[in-house]
Amino acid sequence: MSYTNIIEQNQAWIDETWQKLDDKLSRVAVKSRYKIPYTTKNGEHNDCSKGKGILTWTNGFWGGLMWQMYVGTGKECYKLTAEQVEKTLDNAFSYMDSWHHDVGFMWHITSGVNYRLTGNVASKNRNLISAMSLMSRYNVDGEFIRCWNGTWHGEDVSGWSIIDCMMNIPILYWASKEIGDTRFTKVAMRHADMSMRDHVRADGSVNHIVMHDTNKPNTVLGVRAGQGYSETSCWSRGASWALYGFTLSYIHTKEDRYLQTAKKVAEYFIKETEKTAWLPRLDFRQPEEPLYYDSTAGAIASCGLIELAKNVENETEKEKYLSVALHILKAMEKNWCNWSENEDSILQMGSLMYEKEQHMPIIYGDYFFAEAILKLKGTDFLAW
């Protein structure tokens, strides 16, 4: 069955789900216009825009979600909220000494999308500054992008990289094309090559945190469990970051090694998610009890699988990746989506990490769920 036939067979569900998204978010877009939410409390979006809370790594997803909805509907309510988020994010420029590698998550899907859609020069400049900030985190001797500043649980993190950064480096590919400077792409590719070697295991599972020698390349000093169950387990959202991130690196560079890595991680993710009726566990190697899930991993992976389906040539692979994305999205919509007007969020059952904050709505769950449905609608727009 072809990609087109699979979409046609599922068109009614796709259209119905998109309408549910629009019905709910057109209201919440106005209600939460002056917030930057992370989750909800008693059904109400919280706000991470105050003080240093503006540096919260998830702060681009609300504005990014609004741009996704604007692309799919053309409604002004979404554009106005997205622009307001971008204005609020300007407060983060007061704390640039505390920035981290997640500037791609914060600005590329807000300012970057604004510029690509409207030509707004101020938005282009915000995105370029963010790209330059990420570029400055590159360790020339160790050949990796450092994730954070300072310490983490008392440990020096100057030599640490995390798999999440595969979703931040697309801002570097964009910067290279925008200003005609290949250095940004070269740094992105060197980090991707490191991540392919040091984060992705032979079986397609993924290390979350890798500790590097800061003075020489290709030297791993150790790994950390990070947000997963253990150092040898596989945090499902980390796998989804890798799946989608390497797919994006392939899209931007056309280097086959990134496509093959994305496929390897995808096969592992598919095998493990099928075991639980397409509802992803928080960690694929966690104990049987308690059974923790993470809906955000499913939403992110679905976006990656849809893009994989578009970019592989083999028809059997196209069918497999697209069908699995639909299985995951349908299972999550049926079991975990809240369409009530009394709840600002949509996708429930997100989990921050194995040790805390399980089974809650998280803003990037809504973002990637909407992005996936927009892709299925056939909209030819890639935010990353």
Domain boundaries in the chain? 3-376
Residue 375 is encoded by which pair of tokens? 């892709």
Q: How far apart are CA 101 and CA 150, in angstroms?
A: 13
Q: Which CATH architecture has domain 3-376?
A: Alpha/alpha barrel (1.50)
pTM over 0.95, yes/no: yes
267-284: b (≥16 Cβ within 10 Å) or e: bbbbebbeeeebbbbbbb
Residue 338 is encoded by which pair of tokens? 């809240």
Strand partners, 293: 281
What does the pLDDT read at residue 321? 98
3-state secondary structure labels for all residues of the chain: CCHHHHHHHCHHHHHHHHHHHHHHHHHHHHHCCCCCCCCEECCEECCCCCHHHHHCCCCCHHHHHHHHHHHHHCCHHHHHHHHHHHHHHHHHHHHHHHCCCCHHHHHHCCHHHHHHHHCCHHHHHHHHHHHHHHHHCEECCCCEECCCCCEECCEECCCEEEHHHHHCCHHHHHHHHHHCCCHHHHHHHHHHHHHHHHCECCCCCECCEEEECCCCCCCEEEEECCCCCCCCCCEHHHHHHHHHHHHHHHHHHCCHHHHHHHHHHHHHHHHHHHCCCCCCECECCCCCCCCCECHHHHHHHHHHHHHHHHHCCCHHHHHHHHHHHHHHHHHHHHHHECCCCCCCCCECCECCCCCCCCCECCHHHHHHHHHHHHHHCCCCCCCC
Local confidence pLDDT in tens for the 384 residues of the chain:
799 999 999 999 999 999 999 999 999 999 999 999 999 999 999 999 999 999 999 999 999 999 999 999 999 999 999 999 999 999 999 999 999 999 999 999 999 999 999 999 999 999 999 999 999 999 999 999 999 998 888 899 999 999 999 999 999 999 999 999 999 999 999 999 999 999 999 999 999 999 999 999 999 999 999 999 999 999 999 999 999 999 999 999 999 999 999 999 999 999 999 999 999 999 999 999 999 999 999 999 999 999 999 999 999 999 999 999 999 999 999 999 999 999 999 999 999 999 999 999 999 999 999 999 999 999 999 999
Whole-angstrom CA distances from 51 to 40, 55, 96, 101, 132 are 19, 9, 13, 19, 23
What does the pLDDT read at residue 212? 98
What does the pLDDT read at residue 157? 96
What does the pLDDT read at residue 1? 79
Q: How many residues does the chain have?
A: 384
What does the pLDDT read at residue 169? 98
| CB 121, CB 140: distance < 8 Å | no
